A and B are shown apart, each in its own frame.
Chain A
Amino acid sequence: MNWIKTFQVLGLLATLGVATGCKNNVDDVPFVGLDGNGELKEINFPGKKFKKYNARAMKYTKKQTLKALSQVEKAETNSWKLDAVEVGLAAKAGIGLGNVLKAEAEPAFILIYKKRK
């Protein structure tokens, strides 16, 4: 019997410290949400930089996920087999973002890895 096991890892998507110096450009990728007080929090991340950081973060996530999965597989038994895993990636605010740091980050990117049969 296969078990679908889901776990979430809040990883580093991008160190948004550079956002402090970001201008609001039309090709920005905005990060939005509400803080604990219901106030809008918004960071505009330049498109090119987002592409670079995002690729780096996802490559890192893949590496860490596959490493963790190889450990999990060792613990599998005949009645407990992992065949899918969900990994959540959240933006992590960096320097100078004030109240944003107080808001709880939620996964904005959810990667679903499955095992080939």
Chain B
Amino acid sequence: MKKYITLIALIMSFNALSAGLPSEWYFGEETKSNKEEKLNYDLDKSLHSLHNAQTHALEKAEGEKQGWYLDHMKTILGLTLKGKLGIKSWGGKKGIELIWKKRSANKELVEIEENVETFDISETKSVNDALAGLDPFINSLVESGKVKDAGNLRNQLSDKVQKFYEVAKGAESSAPQAYRPYKIRLDLSVAADGSVNGLFVKVGGDVRIRLEWTRKNFYQKNNELSSIAQKAQTVLNGLASEIGKSIEEEPAAKALTLKEFKVGVGVTVSGNVGVAKASASIVPQVYFKKVSLLEKSMEVQVEEIPFITDDKSNELKLVSSTRVRKGFKKSLKFAEYFQKKFSKKEYKEGSWAVHTIKPSFSFDLSGDVGVVTLAGTAIFELAYVNNNF
């Protein structure tokens, strides 16, 4: 009998040592055998060690009572193909971002903007105006010697700005719904030869540029939208509708409040618009959040939402809105799962705590959703605020 008890204890012990993030919460290019490989790792214990170390260290880094103080700190986590969640220290995609803040401080988190050259096109009336606004920047890069080929840079930026402008126009005239696009961003890096890439492509230089649109007005009906802007409007209306319905059907965990929902929406060479399922590095990021509507809410019925599945062939795949909603709902469920990790009593003590959780998700065209792995492609990101803060 004693032998069996020992055996059972050994099996239990082995299982306890093999607990990464459950495979239902992520997927990627990994094989089933990869997933089943046992990990000598326990997610709960590892998170406990991280939390313990971070809160202890944050007290040491607080700053001065007068003058400068530590307002918040971000920890970037990456997920391996075997389900191990670790501190992302090298390349690969971010899986989850944790933002720590002091409990006694102002509960509102104000993130600072990066020091990057930003071109706000919110008030711009035409693509040509937007491009003209870039000229002084291009000239300064050439004068400083950072860019040799101004013509190439102008051509490449022209294409990016034009597409960005059309998506922004679509957002501007998107239907009034509970969740609406309120900001669009596109971060680019510029190489010495004038080529323009997404930030994930290292070009050897350090010139960065951001295109930005923020909602300045309420619903602006526009009957003169270009074909691309009309397509963008349809995609954004569909996404806003499905985000709203998902949240209605799958309310967030009580301990969390959804702050914003970020989705990549791209334009193909042939002028189609879709959610960026492909690994495109140049994709405008559309930020949705709940808004108080001054105008009457408009019901939007969208049967399908297009996804860009291939950068080169510009292939679009229409995904039923039911599947999109299914995926969004799963991402909301993950937040509930993950917040339970931080709802234990031990995490409610101490002067520093996790204030905001930002998980990034991959999306499968079947509607399945998982936390993005290091080698995966992030399609959307949620930002949750901890209500027990």
Chain A interface residues (CB < 8 Å from chain B): 4-7, 24-36, 38, 40-44, 47-48, 50-51, 54-55, 57-59, 61-62, 65-66, 69, 84-86, 90-91, 100, 103-116
Q: How far is the CA of A28 from the CA of B40 in the complex (A)?
A: 10
Q: How far is the CA of A47 from the CA of B48 in the complex (A)?
A: 9
Give residues 96-122 of B contacting A (CB, 8 Å): 111-115
Residue of A25, A62, A107, A109 with most chain B CB atoms under a 10 A cut-off: A109
Query: Residue B58 at the A interface, CB < 8 A?
Result: yes
Q: Given A6-B114, A43-B89, A116-B66, 15 more contacts at CB 8 Å?
A: A6-B112, A6-B115, A30-B86, A31-B87, A32-B92, A33-B88, A33-B92, A34-B92, A42-B84, A59-B57, A91-B89, A107-B76, A110-B73, A112-B73, A116-B68
Which chain B residues lie closer than 8 Å to A55 at the CB level?
53, 56-57, 60
Give residues 42-71 of B contacting A (CB, 8 Å): 42, 45-46, 48-50, 52-54, 56-58, 60-64, 66-71
> Which of these, A4, A34, A107, A110, contacts B374 with CB under 8 Å?
A34
Query: Residue B275 at the A interface, CB < 8 A?
Result: no
Q: How far is the CA of A91 from the CA of B71 in the complex (A)?
A: 22
When A26-B17, A54-B57, A62-B63 are in contact, do A31 and B89 touch as well, CB less than 8 Å? Answer: yes
Contact in complex: A33, B49 (CB < 8 Å): no
Could you tell me the distance in whole angstroms from the C-beta of A58 to the nearest C-beta in chain B?
A: 4
Could you tell me the distance in whole angstroms from the C-beta of B80 to the nearest C-beta in chain A?
A: 5
Q: How far is the CA of A43 from the CA of B88 in the complex (A)?
A: 11
Q: How far is the CA of A85 from the CA of B68 in the complex (A)?
A: 9
Query: Residue B90 at the A interface, CB < 8 A?
Result: yes
SS class of chain B's interface: helix, strand, loop or mixed? mixed
> Which of these, B45, B67, B73, contacts A27 with CB under 8 Å?
B45
A–B Cβ pairs within 8 angstroms, 8 of them = A27-B45, A32-B86, A34-B92, A51-B53, A59-B61, A108-B75, A108-B87, A109-B75
Which chain B residues lie closer than 8 Å to A29 at the CB level?
46, 49-50, 53, 86-87
Contact in complex: A106, B42 (CB < 8 Å): no
Which chain A residues lie closer than 8 Å to B88 at the CB level?
32-33, 106, 108
Which chain B residues lie closer than 8 Å to A26 at the CB level?
16-17, 40-42, 45-46
Q: How far is the CA of A66 from the CA of B70 in the complex (A)?
A: 10
Top 7 nearest A-B pairs by Cβ distance? A33-B90, A47-B49, A30-B86, A32-B86, A51-B53, A34-B92, A58-B61
Query: Residue B178 at the A interface, CB < 8 A?
Result: no
Interface size on B, residues (CB 8 A): 52
> Which of these, A5, A27, A40, contacts B48 with CB under 8 Å?
A27
Contact in complex: A27, B74 (CB < 8 Å): no
Could you tell me the distance in whole angstroms from the C-beta of B205 to the nearest C-beta in chain A?
A: 15
Contact in complex: A31, B112 (CB < 8 Å): no
Which chain B residues lie closer than 8 Å to A38 at the CB level?
91, 375
Could you tell me the distance in whole angstroms from the C-beta of A22 to the nearest C-beta in chain B?
A: 12
Which chain A residues lie closer than 8 Å to B86 at the CB level?
29-32, 42
Query: Residue B146 at the A interface, CB < 8 A?
Result: no
Contact in complex: A33, B41 (CB < 8 Å): no
Could you tell me the distance in whole angstroms from the C-beta of B86 to the nearest C-beta in chain A?
A: 3
Which chain A residues lie closer than 8 Å to B48 at the CB level?
27, 47
Which chain B residues lie closer than 8 Å to A30 at the CB level?
41, 46, 80, 84-87
Which chain A residues lie closer than 8 Å to B374 at the CB level?
32-34, 40
Query: Residue B81 at the A interface, CB < 8 A?
Result: yes
Query: Residue B290 at the A interface, CB < 8 A?
Result: no
Contact in complex: B73, A40 (CB < 8 Å): no
Could you tell me the distance in whole angstroms from the C-beta of A17 to the nearest C-beta in chain B?
A: 15
Q: How far is the CA of A35 from the CA of B78 in the complex (A)?
A: 13
Q: How far is the CA of A32 from the CA of B92 in the complex (A)?
A: 9
Contact in complex: B90, A109 (CB < 8 Å): no
Contact in complex: A50, B53 (CB < 8 Å): yes
Contact in complex: B87, A91 (CB < 8 Å): yes
Query: Residue B215 at the A interface, CB < 8 A?
Result: no
Which chain A residues lie closer than 8 Å to B57 at the CB level?
51, 54-55, 57-59
Which chain B residues lie closer than 8 Å to A84 at the CB level?
71, 112
Which chain B residues lie closer than 8 Å to A25 at the CB level?
40
